[in-house]
Amino acid sequence: MKEETIARIRRFSADRDWGQYHTPANIVKSISIEAAELLECYQWSDEADLEHVKEELADVIVYCQNMLDVLNLDVDEIVNSKMTKNEAKYPVELARGSSAKYTELKAKSRNKT
């Protein structure tokens, strides 16, 4: 996310003195609620109103940025750390074209040997 966008998110909360409510517990609840609202866009169909999806997705992203700030985390650091773990759990030669969970991939790999 661009620094000016991050600054805008921070300013929005600061201008309203909402930092006092931004505990990790409150933010994670808000992320879950907004993610559920995003999911609701697809509740009865695989198609959804793109404008509504964008609004709900933006809400999730804003709360995620708030969580990063509260916990003093760097988004690039935590995403790259997780991607390293994902790459190990889902090696290309086992996972390509498969939606199987990593435990199933491991079992399939063991059965091949």
Instruction: For the chain of 113 residues, list the mean pLDDT of each consecutive stretch of 10.
Output: 97 97 98 98 97 98 98 98 97 92 82 67
Question: What pLDDT score was predicted for residue 22?
Answer: 98
40 and 55 together in one domain: yes
Quick one: tokens of 110? 């063991």
Cα three-residue angle 68-60-47, rounded to 5 degrees: 150
* Number of domains within the chain: 2
Which CATH number do you get for residue 4? 1.10.287.1080
50 and 84 together in one domain: no
Measured CA distances, 104 to 80, 91, 99 (Å) = 24, 12, 10
Quick one: tokens of 63? 């709360």
Residues of the domain holding 97: 74-113
Question: What pLDDT score was predicted for residue 24?
Answer: 98
